[in-house]
Every structure is written in structure tokens, then in C-alpha cells.
């Protein structure tokens, strides 16, 4: 198993399939984009599947989330999902995406064995979407989410980040729309993972701000810690019904003590935390011919050194050099 010195066991693997993205969200990367990884730096499809197989069969991983960048830009995605679905034991598999390519791929991903999707959508207003993402693709995201729902990639979870002066007033509208469409909405506090290093704690929209805004229209009843488990989102029942809304307060209400994640970058580096400043190289071991047992040992060593927390509350906190698009969300 992937155990750390604080007694946490990682069972949830996040796998970045590419650092590339077809949006330019202001809280992630500059308008001109980034210097992308070279093809030889990226793990091959076969290397990704092998590492996931080692994680599942040797290290106790039970859930796999494919991320990016934008994972739908990975040409071999469907094949990767299909091979991972054939593993014994079979992991639960999900995908975090901006939704632009889902209308075209949802059915194939479901047939390959994908269980569900998380889609990033920060606004219901096309003009605000264009400002936030620097791309005019709002309708493509809406259509992609509907295609995922129809394909059975459910529950479709919607991830929204609220930004001052842009969409900070949209929380109630987003929740009403999500409930109507049977999507599960989760608000995420903006995190210091932008390539420009422009994040500032002052003025950010906090979990408290979001909940106060939602309560102007809805009655929210907290589910409680027993329901939450190791999930990052605190969840509330909406108006006493079946719908819930989540808030991931990575900055103001860290949940590091219950973290069960390990992360693999698109170039084969193990990361113990989104905010880690160190990585452990598995790609070199793969390409030097190391057996599965050695790769598993290296992974265990990397996770053993996981820190107690993200350090966001420490005045000496340093933002990781690698942006979110390279790390995988």
C-alpha cells in the first residue's frame, strides 16, 4: 500500500495524460499558452497503463481519475480506459475535463469502461465564459455535459471557480441550473496553481462567501463528516431534497488530514500533493527496464515522504513552479 508517515493511505490515483489544453483559463495559464512538454517527455499509452496496473495490483489503488491539461486531447484515451477497465481488481475510473470534446467521445468512453466525468464550468453566461477562458466554446461545454449524462457517465459533476469581478454573483444561478439538469455542482476555491503566479489570497472568493451567496436562495443542510469521508468537498443537501452541492475549500478549510491521493504527471513524475515542490521520477525507472516490483518500491518511498499538509496557511508557502496544467487537477 501507499502509506505515509502520518498514517494516511493513498487509494485514489490522479493521472495527467497531457499538459496541453484547448482553453486558456485566466486562473490556470496565460493567453499565449505555455511551453508544452515534448513528445519524448510524455509517457506513452503503454507506460501509462503499466503504471496504473502497478498501482492497482501492487499498491492498493482503487480509484483512477484521468486529468490534464485537457485529457480529451490525448489521442489514445479510449484505449487507455479500455485497458484499465480490464485490470483485476477493476478500479473505479473517472475523467476531469473542460467538456469541449465530450459530445464526440462520451459514448465511446462509456463503452470503454469509464464510470463518470467531472466537467469544469464556471459560468452560465457565454460572454463571461469567453472572458474567463479566452475561447468562445460555451455551447460546446453545455452540449458535452448533456452527452455525458445521456451516455450514462453519471453522476456528472460540475466544477466551478468563482472569480472577483467576473462570475462571483453566479453561485445561486449555477446551483439552480445544476439541480434542474441533475448535475452535481461543486464550487472550488481558486488555488495558487496558475502559471503566471498571479494568485492573491486577498480578494479571493472563499467557501464562506459562496455559502452565504447560496443561502440567499436555498436552504442548505450540511451532510456531515461521516458522509464526506476522504472526499475534498464538504456537501450540503439543497432544500431538503435529493440534490446536493459541494464546496472544496482547499485554501480556507484544508482537508489534508484525510487526503488519500497520489498523483502522476504526464511526464511520469509522482507528486504527493498538488502543492508539492518536489517530485519523484518513475519514467526513468520505466525506461531503464526496472521490474514492476522496483517501480512499486520507488512509488512507496515517494509517498512515505508526503508532508502533513499543503502549507497554504504558512506565511512561508511557496507556489509550485509547475502550473496546474502540468500537474493534473
Cis-peptide into 155, omega within 30 deg: yes
Tell me which DSSP letter residue 215 carries: T
Would the annotation count 21 as a binding residue?
yes
Would the annotation count 206 as a binding residue?
no
Residues facing residue 2 across a β-bridge: 10
Would the annotation count 84 as a binding residue?
no
Residues 6+ apart with CB under 8 A from 113: 81, 82, 84, 85, 86, 90, 93
Query: What would the grid cell of residue 312 be?
Result: 497554504
Question: What's the start-to-end Cα distance of the chain, in Å?
Answer: 23
Would the annotation count 157 as a binding residue?
yes
User: What is the distance between the alpha carbons of residues 151 and 145, in angstroms, rounded to a whole number?
Assistant: 10
Would the annotation count 28 as a binding residue?
yes
Would the annotation count 103 as a binding residue?
no
- Compute CA distances 267 → 106, 264, 284, whole Å: 26, 8, 10
Would the annotation count 256 as a binding residue?
yes
Would the annotation count 191 as a binding residue?
yes
User: What is the distance between the alpha carbons of residues 171 and 122, in angstroms, rounded to a whole number?
Assistant: 9
Would the annotation count 230 as a binding residue?
no
> In 59-186, which ranges are continuous DSSP H helix?
77-85, 102-112, 126-133, 138-151, 171-181
> Which residues line the annotated binding site for S-adenosyl-L-methionine?
27, 69, 120, 191
> Which residues line the annotated binding site for [4Fe-4S] cluster?
21, 25, 28, 256, 259, 273
> Which residues line the annotated binding site for GTP?
14, 65, 96, 157, 261-263
> Which residues line the annotated binding site?
14, 21, 25, 27-28, 65, 69, 96, 120, 157, 191, 256, 259, 261-263, 273
Amino acid at each position: 500500500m501507499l502509506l505515509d508517515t502520518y498514517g494516511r493511505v493513498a487509494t485514489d490515483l490522479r493521472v495527467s495524460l497531457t499538459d496541453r489544453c484547448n482553453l486558456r483559463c485566466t486562473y490556470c495559464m496565460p493567453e499565449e499558452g505555455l511551453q508544452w512538454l515534448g513528445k519524448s517527455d510524455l509517457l506513452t499509452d503503454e507506460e501509462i497503463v503499466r503504471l496504473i496496473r502497478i498501482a492497482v495490483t501492487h499498491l492498493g489503488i482503487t480509484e483512477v481519475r484521468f486529468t490534464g491539461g485537457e485529457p480529451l486531447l490525448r489521442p489514445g484515451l479510449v484505449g487507455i480506459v479500455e485497458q484499465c477497465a480490464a485490470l483485476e481488481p477493476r478500479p473505479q475510473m473517472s475523467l476531469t475535463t473542460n467538456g469541449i470534446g465530450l459530445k464526440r467521445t462520451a459514448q465511446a468512453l462509456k463503452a470503454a469502461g469509464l464510470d463518470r466525468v467531472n466537467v469544469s464550468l464556471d459560468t452560465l453566461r457565454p460572454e463571461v465564459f469567453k472572458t474567463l477562458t479566452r475561447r468562445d466554446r460555451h455551447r460546446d461545454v453545455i452540449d458535452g455535459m448533456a452527452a455525458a449524462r445521456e451516455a450514462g457517465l453519471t453522476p456528472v459533476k460540475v466544477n466551478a471557480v468563482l472569480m472577483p469581478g467576473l462570475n462571483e454573483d453566479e453561485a445561486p444561478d449555477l446551483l439552480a441550473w445544476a439541480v434542474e439538469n441533475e448535475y452535481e455542482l461543486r464550487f472550488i476555491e481558486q488555488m495558487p496553481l496558475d502559471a503566471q503566479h498571479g494568485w492573491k489570497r486577498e480578494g479571493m472568493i472563499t467557501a464562506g462567501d459562496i455559502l452565504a451567496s447560496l443561502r440567499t436562495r436555498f436552504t442548505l443542510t450540511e451532510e456531515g463528516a461521516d458522509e464526506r469521508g476522504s472526499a475534498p468537498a464538504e456537501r450540503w443537501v439543497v432544500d431538503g431534497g435529493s440534490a446536493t452541492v459541494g464546496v472544496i475549500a482547499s485554501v480556507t478549510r484544508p482537508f489534508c488530514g484525510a487526503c488519500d491521493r497520489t498523483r502522476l504527471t504526464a511526464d511520469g513524475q509522482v507528486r504527493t500533493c498538488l502543492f508539492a515542490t518536489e517530485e519523484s521520477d518513475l519514467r526513468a525507472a520505466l525506461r531503464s527496464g526496472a521490474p514492476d516490483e522496483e517501480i512499486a518500491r520507488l512509488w512507496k518511498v515517494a509517498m512515505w515522504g508526503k508532508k502533513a499538509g499543503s502549507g497554504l496557511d504558512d506565511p512561508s508557502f511557496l507556489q509550485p513552479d509547475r502550473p496546474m496544467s502540468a500537474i493534473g487537477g
